[in-house]
A = this chain, B = another copy of it.
Amino acid sequence: MATMKKQVSPTISFSTCSTRAVLKLIGDQWTAMVIYALEGGTKRFSELSALIDGVSKKMLTQTLRDLEHNGLVQRIVYPVVPPRVEYSLTPLGMTLTEPIGALRQWAEEHLNEMEQAQREHDQAQHLFIQEQVASIVQQR
């Protein structure tokens, strides 16, 4: 097991934590899904737009630019009319599919547990609020 006790040292500066950097990368709504969509191979802008339900042109452009800027996605413009732009993962981008896949796998395995926990928690909250209301009413 690689993960032993792994005690958090008392002086860890979280500002330099690499987790933060990755989160800044894929933390937004669309990045992970763009990468996921590009796992299938090279895609045109309009194809991505159609695949990723709900994304606006602006956000898609922004996300792709960001990924390109970080060297995870390659952007190829064909100077033809009408314009044709193709996006694909770089080798570096491909390596990101693994941890993202791990995340997705976790989600598929544990999402139902989480939803159940949510329901239980909501119910507890609900009952608690009812008690509060009851006690307030009683005071009057």
Contact of A33 among B19, B97, B110 (CB under 8 A): B19
Which residue of A41, A72, A103 has the most chain B CB atoms within 10 A of its CB atom?
Answer: A103
One of A80-88, A114-122, A129-137 contacting the partner: A114-122
Q: How far is the CA of A2 from the CA of B39 in the complex (A)?
A: 14
A56 / chain B contacts, CB cutoff of 8 Å: none
Q: How far is the CA of A99 from the CA of B102 in the complex (A)?
A: 6
- Within residues 3 to 41 of chain A, which ones have a CB less than 8 A from any CB in chain B? 3, 6-15, 17-23, 25-29, 32-33, 36-37, 39-41
Contact of A92 among B20, B33, B113 (CB under 8 A): B113
A40 / chain B contacts, CB cutoff of 8 Å: 6-8
**Given contacts A3-B97, A52-B14, A99-B99, is CB(A104)–CB(B19) below 8 Å?**
yes
A13 / chain B contacts, CB cutoff of 8 Å: 53
Main secondary structure of the interface of A (DSSP, over half): helix
- What distance in Å separates the Cβ of A101 from its nearest Cβ neighbour in chain B? 7
A12 / chain B contacts, CB cutoff of 8 Å: 51
Contact A118 B70 (CB under 8 A): yes
Interface residues of A (CB under 8 A from B): 3, 6-15, 17-23, 25-29, 32-33, 36-37, 39-41, 50-54, 68-72, 92, 95-111, 113-114, 116-118, 120-122
